[in-house]
Amino acid sequence: MAATEKYSRTAIVLHWLIALLIIVNVGLALAWPYVADESVRPLIDNHKSIGITVLGLALLRLLWRFGHRPPAFPAGYAGWEKWSAHAVHWGLYLVMFMMPLSGWIMDSAWKDAATHPMYFWHMFEWPRIGFIMNLPPETKLKVHDIFGEMHELVAYLLYLLFFLHVAGALKHQFLDKEPEFQRMGIGR
Ligand code: HEM
């Protein structure tokens, strides 16, 4: 396979790192309803640090993408496969930003935010969004609920796009016998 048919090393590292962090973050969120109240705090705190890390990495990835064209799709892909793959990829970019941003806004509107500072990976205090923290309590409650709802709904969109993305990759790899995994750094 020619070097141009593969993603760049940076794109590959960012792809797998972000995928792993998102999977862990969804896993934490789905697990914490089953965890006792006194043990749940560290899970939520780590969820927030992972989410903010994803936001930073997603920004890097988008900037990298603008400067480095991804390899062209193999010639054998049908038109509908190309446009649907593009649509799913841009949908995933949208979700990579909307999940952390809705979480950060919800967290900034949390009524107890002032008394529960958020620490980024236990290293330093991560800022809440100041103007949201300073809203009147009733407005803050509404903002918290709206963005909490959005966080949940975008998670459903994430599950759908993730499913389509993985199903497409598996189809190309195993049914069409195209080196799809190799384009993203798995195998030669
Ligand atoms: C990659 C980024 C993120 C992903 C994939 C993610 C995913 C999720 C999921 C799947 C849920 C459960 C939704 C439900 O079904 O109820 C959740 C809940 C939550 N997330 Fe995130 N999240 C991300 C980033 C963040 C960030 C950056 C923060 C805050 C700074 C945050 C704060 C929360 C909180 C507080 C909840 C609990 C909401 C509630 O039940 O009241 N999340 N997240």
The CATH number linked to 25 is: 1.20.950
Q: Identify whether 122 is part of a domain.
A: yes
For residue 125, the SS3 value is strand
Q: Which residues fall within 8 angstroms of residue 50, CB to CB, at 6 or more apart?
A: 21, 24, 25, 28
Q: How far is the CA of 163 from the centre of ligand 1 (A)?
A: 19
Task: Locate 90 and state its tokens.
Answer: 């841009």
Average pLDDT over every residue of 178-183: 92
The number of angstroms, rounded, from the C-alpha of 53 to the middle of its chain's C-alpha atoms is 10
Instruction: Tell me the pLDDT tens digit for each residue of 9-63.
Output: 999 999 999 999 999 999 999 999 999 999 999 999 999 999 999 999 999 999 9
CA dihedral 106, 112, 116, 120 (to 10 degrees): 10
Does 74 score more than 90 pLDDT?
no
Q: How far is the CA of 13 from the centre of ligand 1 (A)?
A: 24
Any ligand 1 atom below 6 A from CB of 92: no
Does 4 score more than 50 pLDDT?
no
Q: What is the count of structural domains for the chain? A: 1
Q: Identify whether 127 is part of a domain.
A: yes
Does 80 score more than 60 pLDDT?
yes
Place of tokens 């990976």: 121
Look up the domain containing 162 and give its range.
Answer: 3-183
Q: How far is the CA of 169 from the centre of ligand 1 (A)?
A: 27
The whole-number pLDDT of residue 6 equals: 86
Q: Identify whether 148 is part of a domain.
A: yes
Average pLDDT over every residue of 65-78: 91
Mean pLDDT of the chain: 94
Instruction: Tell me the pLDDT tens digit for each residue of 102-158.
Output: 999 999 999 999 999 999 999 999 999 999 999 999 999 999 999 999 999 999 999
Q: Identify whether 40 is part of a domain.
A: yes
Closest ligand 1 atom to Cα of 21? 1
Q: Identify whether 188 is part of a domain.
A: no
pLDDT band, very low/low/confident/very high, at 75 (cuts 50, 70, 90): confident
Place of tokens 């969820």: 47
Does 3 score more than 60 pLDDT?
no
58: left (phi over 0), alpha (psi -120 to 50) or beta: alpha
CA angle 7, 11, 14 (to 5 degrees): 145
CA angle 9, 83, 179 (to 5 degrees): 40
Any ligand 1 atom below 6 A from CB of 100: yes
Any ligand 1 atom below 6 A from CB of 26: yes
Any ligand 1 atom below 6 A from CB of 180: no
